[in-house]
Amino acid sequence: MFERYEKQINYEKIGRKGQEQLQKSRVLIVGCGALGTVVANNLVRMGIGHIRIVDRDFVELSNLHRQILFDEEDVLKNMPKAKAAENRLRKINSEITIEGFVKEVNSRTIEEFIDGVNLIVDCTDNFKTRFLINDVAFKNNLPWIYGGALGSSGMIKVFVPDEKSGCLQCMIPKPPNSGSLPTCDTAGVVNTLTGVVGALESNEALKYLLGCKEDMEKDLLFMDLWDNTFKKIPQKRKEDCPCCVKKIYGYLEDKKPEATYICGQNSIQINLGQENMNLKEIQGRLENKNITTRRNPYLLSFKAEGVEIKVFKDGRAILKNAKNEEVAKSIYAKYIGY
């Protein structure tokens, strides 16, 4: 068993005892895109005993330049990222447990995914989900690692509930308004950056799971790979913070379904909180209207009114090229139904 991890075990801060500890650990990775594929790949190769991956999306050709677990076959098969990653990772390490969930992480679902985990690693592309992760982590006394990457600039920050460096709301009081920040659609992203940010997140996860909390990064670590600059920005707890001081978890308590923009795809996700959609039945209705469809065990895809639509079993739909959220909702209602 230990031959696989021999080089890692030989490092003095890990050793055989540390490797045994890693094999008992459980980690939740939220998002399996550019950062998530790097983190998942690293943690699986380290021998973390149980990896749970949750992602709402499917593999597209434009993902392949930076999302290292996917290939062209996944694109052709319309594979959900969580399942494509699970399949690939099982071939890398069959000794550990890997779970891939094709679901959205939102206020209604997130608490089911944290069950039994020791650590949450954020690999998302939006601040609303990060504020939700922050709420559920501090409510349940779970550490989490934040990572972000855009253009050639990235950052990571470790949040540990029992420390004085605060939480995400201490650092950023509320999520930025929609449209106020550049996105990967407008600013792009360098694939070397996502590799570095994902590696740093993985490294902080390794330290925590080994019990080396004193070695973890306490500051916000900012980097720009084009300039080859790294900067540490000290953070501290705000004594009036709603989350980590007052224990108010507003993002977790907001259970409303919604429409959200997905970075990098010119897409809008509709989530009306439905469950167990009968994709075969929907496919039949659409084909009766002479609409060409494709279906696999995870999603149904078709095109209507110039919009590419993917419908998932949990009731979500991702609509590519919809003009705005209202148009997306209208198309959802017309072809899928509320």
Length of the chain: 338
Q: In this predicted model, which residue has the larger pLDDT, 247 or 336?
A: 247
Domain shared by 231 and 263, yes or no: no
CATH code of 265's domain: 3.30.310.10
Q: How far apart are CA 123 and CA 238, in angstroms?
A: 25
pLDDT, residue 289, reads: 85
Q: How far apart are CA 258 and CA 194, in angstroms?
A: 28
Domain shared by 276 and 228, yes or no: no
Mean pLDDT, rounded, of the chain: 91
Q: What is the mean pLDDT of residues 186-198?
A: 91
Q: What is the pLDDT of residues 33-70, one digit of tens each?
A: 999 999 999 999 999 999 999 998 899 999 999 999 99
Domain shared by 156 and 227, yes or no: yes
Q: What is the mean pLDDT of residues 272-278?
A: 72
Radius of gyration of the chain (CA): 20
pLDDT, residue 265, reads: 66
Given a cut of 70, is residue 157 above it in pLDDT? yes
pLDDT, residue 319, reads: 94
Domain shared by 323 and 209, yes or no: no
pLDDT, residue 128, reads: 85
pTM: 0.83
Q: What is the pLDDT of residues 121-148, one digit of tens each?
A: 999 988 889 999 999 999 999 999 999 9
Domain shared by 49 and 181, yes or no: yes
Domain shared by 290 and 206, yes or no: no
Which class for 77: exposed (0-12), middle (13-18), buried (19 or more C-beta within 10 A)? middle
Quick one: what percent of the chain has pLDDT higher than 70? 93
Q: 164 is in which domain, residue-wise?
A: 2-253
Domain shared by 33 and 169, yes or no: yes
Q: How far apart are CA 283 and CA 296, in angstroms?
A: 11
Domain shared by 149 and 196, yes or no: yes
Q: In this predicted model, which residue has the larger pLDDT, 256 or 112?
A: 112
pLDDT, residue 39, reads: 98
Which of 231, 253, 275 is at the close of a domain?
A: 253
Given a cut of 70, is residue 182 above it in pLDDT? no
Count how many domains the chain has: 2
Domain shared by 126 and 54, yes or no: yes
Domain shared by 186 and 164, yes or no: yes
Band (pLDDT 50/70/90 cuts) for residue 324 is confident
Which of 232, 253, 274 is at the close of a domain?
A: 253
Which of 253, 286, 306 is at the close of a domain?
A: 253
3-state SS string over the chain?
Answer: CHHHHHHHHCCCCCHHHHHHHHHCCEEEEECCCHHHHHHHHHHHHHCCCEEEEEECCECCHHHCCCCCCCCHHHHHCCCEHHHHHHHHHHHHCCCCEEEEEECCCCCCCHHHHCCCCCEEEECCCCHHHHHHHHHHHHHCCCCEEEEEEEECEEEEEEECCCCCCCCHHHHCCCCCCCCCCCCHHHHCECHHHHHHHHHHHHHHHHHHHCCCHHHCCCCEEEEECCCCEEEEECCCCCCCCCCCCCCCCHHHHCCCCEEEEECCCCEEEEECCCCCCCHHHHHHHHHHCCCCEEECCCEEEEEECCEEEEEECCCCEEEECCCCHHHHHHHHHHHCCC
Q: What is the pLDDT of residues 64-104, one digit of tens each?
A: 999 999 999 999 999 999 999 999 999 999 999 999 999 98
**Token match 């959609």: residue?**
277
pLDDT, residue 276, reads: 74
The type of residue at 54 is V
Domain shared by 227 and 286, yes or no: no
Given a cut of 60, is residue 180 above it in pLDDT? no
Domain shared by 188 and 321, yes or no: no
CATH code of 234's domain: 3.40.50.720
Span of 87-96, 234-243, 325-334 with lowest mean pLDDT: 325-334
Cβ neighbours, 10 Å, residue 22: 21
